[in-house]
Amino acid sequence: MTRTVQQLFDLTGKTALVTGGSRGLGLQLAHALGEAGAKIMLSSRKAADLELATAELQAAGIDARWIAADCAQEADVRRLADETLERMGDIDILVNNAGASWGAPAEDHPLEAWDKVMNLNVRGYFILSQQVAKRSMIARKRGSIINVASIAGLGGNQQGMNTIAYNTSKAAVINFTRTLAGEWGKYGIRVNAICPGFFPSKMTAGLLKTLGEENLKAHAPLGRLGDDEDLKGLCALFASDAGKHITGQYLAVDGGVSALVGG
């Protein structure tokens, strides 16, 4: 029998692991999955932030727990996979969101900063995806991996920003997504990417001050910045059976900025 839209988006009985989930976009994605019925395991580096975020989710009626881990460190990533599987059972949805940025002109960009961004934004995604797939998704022939990229991965610097490592890492995430989808489709694992535009957050606070909120709004065809609801619908689509025939795709959620020539 053909299911209703509500049934297709229902994540009841599913378990999701969300990295970088203690605030900002990660917490928004965790809300989306939890509101659709999934149990949530949050992860980020700081226990105090995770306690607050988990309490927020629980207050909204969501079954949420947390594990502190640094996804730039291989040992921590492996421990995160171990503990999530031990405490929650199989992982149905993995959201790779933990990320870092660094602003500097290319000619002066520190090598250690380049490595920091790449290790977290790309290497961490690979290690955790590999662990979750091999230990939970492949044998069961199902799973959804959602990688958070950025419109910075679709082109060069935006609005005069000098973020070569970040841009390069997010372009890598997009092709990582497409390649993994091609390899793991035979296992019933779907892999897709969300490419946010400018959302106010702790990471973007400095840019918001430098570039100006009104300037950024004016640059977007919709005339606004992203808010705390704008990623929810796409996340739920990619995670649920509503998107069961979608894999290897990336979609910008940016108010139309990436649709502009040279956007």
Q: With a cut of 50, list the residues of the chain below it in pLDDT.
A: none
Residue 94: which of 19, 173, 38 has the closest Cα?
Answer: 19
Residue 91 pLDDT: 98
In degrees and rounded to multiples of 5, residue 180 shows phi and psi of: -65, -40
CA distance 249 to 183: 14
| Beta-ladder partners of 41 | 17, 65
Q: Are strands 143-148 and 64-68 parallel, antiparallel or unpaired?
A: unpaired
Residue 262 pLDDT: 56
Residue 242 pLDDT: 98
Residue 207 pLDDT: 65
Residue 119 pLDDT: 95
Render pLDDT for 126-170 as a digit per residue (tens, 0 to 9). Answer: 999 999 999 999 999 999 999 999 999 998 766 667 789 999 999
Residue 203 pLDDT: 65
Superfamily of domain 5-255: NAD(P)-binding Rossmann-like Domain (3.40.50.720)
- Tell me which of 125, 166, 187, 250 is the catalytic residue: 166
Angle at 253 between CA 130 and CA 177, to 5 degrees: 20
Task: Please answer whether residues 255 and 224 qualify as being in contact, where contact means their C-beta atoms are separated by less than 8 angstroms.
Answer: yes
DSSP secondary structure string for all residues of 82-97: HHHHHHH-S-SEEEE-
Residue 159 pLDDT: 61
166 is annotated as an active-site residue: yes
Tokens of 70: 């640094």
pTM of the predicted model as reported, rounded to 2 decimal places: 0.94
Domain extent listing, the chain: 5-255
If one counts every other C-beta atom within 10 angstroms of the C-beta of residue 192, the result is: 25
If one counts every other C-beta atom within 10 angstroms of the C-beta of residue 245, the result is: 7
